Amino acid sequence: MTQLALIILAAGKGTRMKSDLPKVLHPVAGAPLVVHAMLAVEALEPAATIVVAGHGADLVERAAHGHDPDARIVLQAEQRGTAHAVDRARGALEQFDGDVIVLYGDTPFIRPETMTEMLDARRGGADVVVLGFEAEQPGKYGRLVTNGDVLERIVEAKDASAEELAITLCNSGVICADRATLFDLIAQVGDDNAAGEYYLTDIIGLASGAGMRCAVVTCPEEETLGINSRAELARAEAIWQARRRHEAMENGATLTAPDTVFFAHDTHIGADVLIEPHVIFGPGVTVENGATLRAFSHLEGCHVSDGAVIGPYARLRPDAEIGPDARIGNFVEIKKAVIGEGAKVNHLSYIGDAEIGAGANIGAGTITCNYDGVLKHETRIGAGAFIGSNTALVAPVEVGEGAVVAAGSTITADVPGGGLAIARSRQDTKPGQGARLREALLARKAADT
């Protein structure tokens, strides 16, 4: 099979974003726009990925390598048009033999299925394939001038005649061609146009003039949405979330108030998962079949096993591992901790850097004191242990299987399996003193007024 390379154009500053951050690094669903472009073709297993960076190139490189360490970064120091940008990848692909797809780092919604259609058209005999769409408001988009099923040329709106402006089939900018053909055509592109730039779109006219066959693959306009402003970024987030909610429900999850649930780009939700209103997912979350996520919970970098119940108002932080049928209740925070099968942390607790055994019960207000101001330390609680309410476990400390810790204790030493630990001040009760104290206080209050 012919190999595939990906060129992502990501050099623009994005002036309309009003940001020091490169436009392609603004996030949708917790991932930078440029990563969404990489994800669009990931299923097609490209042999090479080239990211053309400019403004904030070091930051773009860091984001791209965070997703794909093998991605190549090339620099377009001076932005002189899209053909000039693609040409910056020439050297990186000099030894590559195969097809190339050119994508844009600020266009996050291109589907793998669309890329497959373009490749099929290319391998079906077209020398160059362009992705187009029927625009409701063609406006500033480049127009695709066709003759039957043949694409003759692309005309930028600012250079188009009145007849050409009436065309509604518009250019997305996404192009597929053989590597040698692509760069041979780019070498012939000039800058004799209204903007004085080297347009990638000019390769269509050049290819047609050389007797090559150019074709168009179409997709919904929404799929080609580019991000140029904060408002468009918000719209993109809304579109992405709507798609992902629908996908989750199609795959067997129940969302009782879909519009209030926000997923991350890599959230995995199993079948028969119930998600109540206002649940928020950060990156790196997997929820297995039959789990329940109750309202107003926040999950990030965690794994929730079959049948577990989370929330309401729970927070699962990175490296939280929640076992099957475990219960994490209201106003409970879990961080870098393993909660065993059937264990319960039901109320107002913080469990961090800890391991909680199967069937253990953690009482309300329990805290693992895991940080000494310099280092983190681990707490281990054995299977079936019972930790009374308002207990502070000063790590490093271990509570054995079946042990009991009395409410209100501060535990600083290990508790053996089956043991009982009571670590609190002795209560001193003075009969009648409460009534006398109250009378004295009421008298003082009366005197003050």
From the annotation, which residues make up the binding site? Answer: 9-12, 23, 76, 81-82, 104-106, 142, 156, 171, 228, 317, 335, 350, 361, 364, 370-371, 389, 407, 424
Q: Would the CA dihedral through 238, 242, 248, 251 be positive or negative?
A: negative
Q: Would the CA dihedral through 214, 215, 220, 223 be positive or negative?
A: negative
d(CA 63, CA 57): 10
CB 423 within 8 A of CB 411: yes
* Catalytic residue check, 298: no
Token pair, residue 114, equals 């669309």
Token pair, residue 21, equals 């951050």
**Binding-site sequence positions for acetyl-CoA:** 364, 370-371, 389, 407, 424
**Binding-site sequence positions for Mg(2+):** 106, 228
Q: Among 148, 107, 159, 147, which residue's Cα sits nearest to residue 131?
A: 107
Which member of 67, 268, 278, 347 is catalytic?
A: 347
Helix (H/G/I), strand (E/B), else coil: 389: coil
| Backbone region of residue 425 per phi and psi (left: phi > 0; alpha: psi in -120 to 50; beta: other values) | beta
DSSP letters spanning 325-339: T-EEEET-EEEEEEE
DSSP β-bridge partners for residue 150:
147
b/e code 365-381 from CB counts within 10 Å (16+ = b): bbbbbbeeeeeebbbbb
User: What is the number of alpha carbons within 13 Å of residue 220 lying toward its C-beta?
Assistant: 7
d(CA 302, CA 335): 9
Q: Among 170, 172, 179, which residue's Cα sits nearest to residue 122?
A: 179
CB atoms < 10 A from the CB of 188, how many? 14
CB 255 within 8 A of CB 287: no
Distance of CA 291 to the CA centre of its chain: 21
Strand ranges (E), 47-95: 48-53, 72-75
Token pair, residue 281, equals 């997912």
DSSP β-bridge partners for residue 133:
170
CB 265 within 8 A of CB 31: yes
CB 263 within 8 A of CB 279: no
d(CA 29, CA 21): 17
Catalytic residues: 347
